[in-house]
Amino acid sequence: MAHLVNQFGADTPLREITAAKISEYKGQRHSVAESTGRERGAAAINRPLATLRHMLQLAHTEWELITEVPRVRLEREPQHKVVWLEPDEEQRLLDAARASRTKHLHDLLVVALESGLRRTELLDLEWDRVDLSRGVIRLEKTKSGKRREVPMRQRVYDVLAARAGERKGRVWPVGDIRSAFETVVEAAQLDKPFTFHGCRHHFASWFVMRGGKLAALQQILGHATLAMTMKYAHVGASHLRDEIARTERPAVAQLHSKETANYARELVSSEVVVS
C-alpha cells in the first residue's frame, strides 16, 4: 500500500485512478528493478496491481466512493516448476541437516518432507495442536483461514514423539532457519535448485506418484480448489506410463508385454554380438 500511495499520490482521489493511469503505471513497472538490477517478472508486476484492484472493488461495492471499477489487466504468470527430490537426494539433504549446527533442523525437515505443511504452518506449530493419540496435526492458522487436520505418517509421528522436553508452547525453537537451510542444501550438493517450499512440492509429488488421489491431496495441503492441486497431476513420466499400462485392455496389455520381451531379447543378442 505504501508503494501504491507513493506512485499515485496520497492526495489523489480514487475516482481519478483511471484505467489509463493504471496502464501507465503498469508500463513503468516493466523496467529494471533498482534493488536487483533485473527486469521485473510478471509476479512482481501483478502483486501491487492485485492490491490496487481489490481496493478499487471495495471502494465501489462497500464504500460507494466510485461509480465503477476501472479495468486492471494482470500479466500472465508462468506456471511454477514443480521440483521434488529423488530418494538419494532426499537422503543427502537429511544427512547434511543432521550435521547442521541447528540441531532441530533434521527433525524439522523430516516433518516438512513427510507432511506437506507450509513453512509458517510448520514453524508456528504448537504442542496443543499435535495429537499423538490420534496421529494428526490440527492446524488453526492457515493460509486459507480454514482449520484442517493433517494425518501423520509414521516418520512424522516418530520424530514428534521423540522430541525431548516439556510439550508446551512451540514445537520448534524460535529463530530464522533460512541461512541454516541454505547451508544444508549446498552441502547436500543437489542437482537442482531447492527451497524450503520445495519440501511441500516434494511431498505432494511423491504422494501422487505413489498412487495418492488428488482430491485427498487437496484436503491435506489445504488448497481452496482442486484446480490448485492439479499442478501435481502431471508429475513423473514413469508414473504416467504405469497408469497407462494399468488401464490397458487385457489383450493389448498382453501383446505389449510380448513385444517388450521380444525387444529385450533382441537387445541382449545385439549386445552379445557387439561385445
Which is catalytic among the residues 53, 92, 202, 223? 223
Active site residue 200: yes
Q: What is the pLDDT of residues 136-172, one digit of tens each?
A: 999 987 777 788 999 999 999 999 999 988 899 999 9
Active site residue 29: no
Q: Kindly state the average pLDDT of the residues 98-104.
A: 96
Residues 6+ apart with CB under 8 A from 8: 17, 21, 25
pLDDT band at 53 (very low <50, low <70, confident <90, very high): very high
Name the burial class of residue 115, with classes exposed (0-12), middle (13-18) and buried (19+) by CB atoms within 10 angstroms of its CB: buried
**Rounded distance, CA 45 to CA 42, Å?**
5
* Percent of the chain predicted with pLDDT > 90: 62
Q: Kindly state the average pLDDT of the residues 68-95.
A: 89
**Rounded distance, CA 120 to CA 139, Å?**
11
**Rounded distance, CA 186 to CA 201, Å?**
19
Which is catalytic among the residues 3, 15, 146, 197? 197
Active site residue 265: no
Whole-number pLDDT of residue 253: 55
Whole-number pLDDT of residue 262: 62
Q: Where are the domains of the chain?
A: 2-61, 87-230, 237-274
The highest-confidence range among 80-94, 104-118, 205-219, by mean pLDDT, is 104-118
Average pLDDT along the chain: 87
| Predicted confidence (pLDDT) at residue 268 exceeds the cutoff of 70 | no
pLDDT band at 269 (very low <50, low <70, confident <90, very high): low
Residue matched to cell numbers 524439522: 108
Active site residue 30: no
Q: Does domain 87-230 have CATH number 1.10.443.10?
A: yes
Which is catalytic among the residues 71, 73, 141, 143? 143
pLDDT band at 217 (very low <50, low <70, confident <90, very high): very high
Which is catalytic among the residues 26, 92, 106, 118? 118
Active site residue 143: yes
Active site residue 197: yes
Q: Kindly state the average pLDDT of the residues 202-224.
A: 92
Which is catalytic among the residues 26, 106, 200, 202? 200
Which is catalytic among the residues 106, 157, 201, 232? 232
Whole-number pLDDT of residue 237: 54
Phi, psi (5° rounding) for residue 138? Answer: -100, 120
Q: What is the pLDDT of residues 227-246, one digit of tens each?
A: 889 888 877 555 666 667 77
